[in-house]
Structure 1
């Protein structure tokens, strides 16, 4: 007798279901963003609008003195006075010295923040100590204190230490980190497997040995990101040097650009072309730093914390 083979009714819609449930009964749908010509057109338009101030600054920097006197600036450059980029260093102000001062302050601050933030953030994430969580909350709470409140007490402290008119008030505080950077490192380290520390302890490594030989190589993305943030802030810092520095020979470039506007003859406009040259000198290094370090900013995945072990 012929037997009837069991038949399976096909799925409605035909073909295999792309959203078929895997083992365990949990469906997983992956959505992929597809760029369209409209997307690229929108990005180009937005980028063009955001680039207008930079283009206008370059246009003013390339203007002649006659254009500055007549205030006949244009958004797009019609003149190309490249000599302005050397002329700014030929005036009475030591612009070259200002540039070196900015490098000293910014690089010293970057080293301080990277060293201290890594150690403090790792300690909060790994060390077991009574009151650690309360202390961490206190550190985070300092982010809510406005800078203006601590400005006068800090000045009195540095004045009593004899640090006024030196680079120390601008560099030394960075060796004590800040709450935001500590939070970044702590969140990054807390996502790393603790078995790495335990295995290192079995091999006889202490706290600093584990940090230097195991954790530090994995922390480079977040530490470099902290360095970029610190460099960006201190390179263009205006208020700190204005408070603590008195000698022109110690002024950074941010104050030097401001000094250019005060060298104008009474009744005449400031040399805006030279001012914009100084502004470009402040801007271009930060663009280059971001371009070279953007990979580390993307790798700083504080939500997953797995960037260091990829």
Structure 2
């Protein structure tokens, strides 16, 4: 039996014999156990979002609140500019998704399809940038953006995405290389140029990897904290993660942890919903497999 084939029902499990059956059972026990362990912090946060602040850190932990404080979610919007911070995050995320996806896709297409002596050298140079820690370039980048007068604007958080991202370029290049070159050659014979091949042939076949890169970009910039912390000082421009961090300072060191937990859970909803609805595209993109039907 193929061990990678999922078991869809207990009836199907009962049909297995001997070693295969026990291996499948052990595999699912391990997966369920790991899932439960990783879900504990999320469950504690959800529980805390419905408690009074004094009840959250009691020992031993009480998972079910003595009194459900649903008003924590109401106070999140009345006492905390949640909508403004979420809107700011949406602006940053939207432009990064558009610019990173388009620029990375164009560069990946060039590496995958154009042949020239420096192709491999330039590609390895792009990959080498992934080895440079972000902290190494942090100060030079800040000085450069400060000299340009971009500090306390969204430009330092958006403009770099116009030049692509090394990891995304790598993923897209590998995916494009699985698409047969015969399609390009047929299109050339029919009179298409490189741009038409990119937009009308390669792009439709690359929808899974394009969506995958878009989701990765969304998650990174939606949860980005360091960049906004360095470049933004105006509270009206704070994205959601920096806004959550500033909640303690705004309340003079007396934090309403119930409301903070409620805001944290609300901030988790967009990336979780995005992953849930587009999971099949993520899996197809990660497999780096292109298929052509015709």
When normalised by structure 1's length, the TM-score is 0.83
Relative contact order, CA 8 A, sep 6+: which one is greater? 2
Unaligned runs of 5+ in 1: 1-29
- 2:192 paired with 1:205: yes
Q: How many corresponding residue pairs? A: 276
Equivalent of residue 148 in structure 1, options 131, 135, 139 = 135
Equivalent of residue 306 in structure 1, options 279, 290, 293 = 290
Q: 2:267 maps to which residue?
A: 282
1:65: how far off? 4.5
CA-to-aligned-CA distance 1:141-181 (integer Å, 9 cap, x gap): 11111111111111122122221111111111111111111
- Write the distance in 2 (CA, Å) between the matches of 1:178 and 1:308: 27
- 2:69 paired with 1:81: yes
Shift in alpha-carbon separation, 1:73–1:204, aligned structure 2, 3 A:
farther
Q: 1:218 maps to which residue?
A: 205
Q: 1:10 maps to which residue?
A: none
When normalised by structure 2's length, the TM-score is 0.87
Q: 2:92 maps to which residue?
A: 105
Shift in alpha-carbon separation, 1:67–1:138, aligned structure 2, 3 A:
same
Q: 2:38 maps to which residue?
A: 50
Equivalent of residue 2 in structure 2, options 31, 39, 53 = 31
Equivalent of residue 236 in structure 2, options 249, 256, 262 = 249
Q: 1:179 maps to which residue?
A: 166
- Write the distance in 1 (CA, Å) between the matches of 2:60 and 2:291: 47
Partner of 2:233, secondary structure, is coil
1:278: how far off? 1.8
CA-to-aligned-CA distance 1:32-59 (integer Å, 9 cap, x gap): 4566445444433332222111110011
- Write the distance in 1 (CA, Å) between the matches of 2:270 and 2:246: 20
C-alpha contact 1:56 1:75 (8 A) present in aligned 2: no
Shift in alpha-carbon separation, 1:130–1:60, aligned structure 2, 3 A:
same
1:199: how far off? 0.8
1:281: how far off? 1.8
Q: How does 1:59-70 map to 2 (within 5 A)?
A: 59-67=47-55
Look at both structures and tell me which one has the larger radius of gyration over its CA atoms. Answer: 1
1:246: how far off? 1.2
Q: 1:17 maps to which residue?
A: none
Question: Pairwise CA RMSD of aligned residues?
Answer: 2.1
Relative to total residues, which structure has the larger helix share, 1 or 2?
2
1:286: how far off? 1.2
1:262: how far off? 1.9
Equivalent of residue 217 in structure 2, options 230, 236, 249 = 230
Partner of 2:278, secondary structure, is helix
C-alpha contact 1:300 1:307 (8 A) present in aligned 2: no
1:306: how far off? 2.2
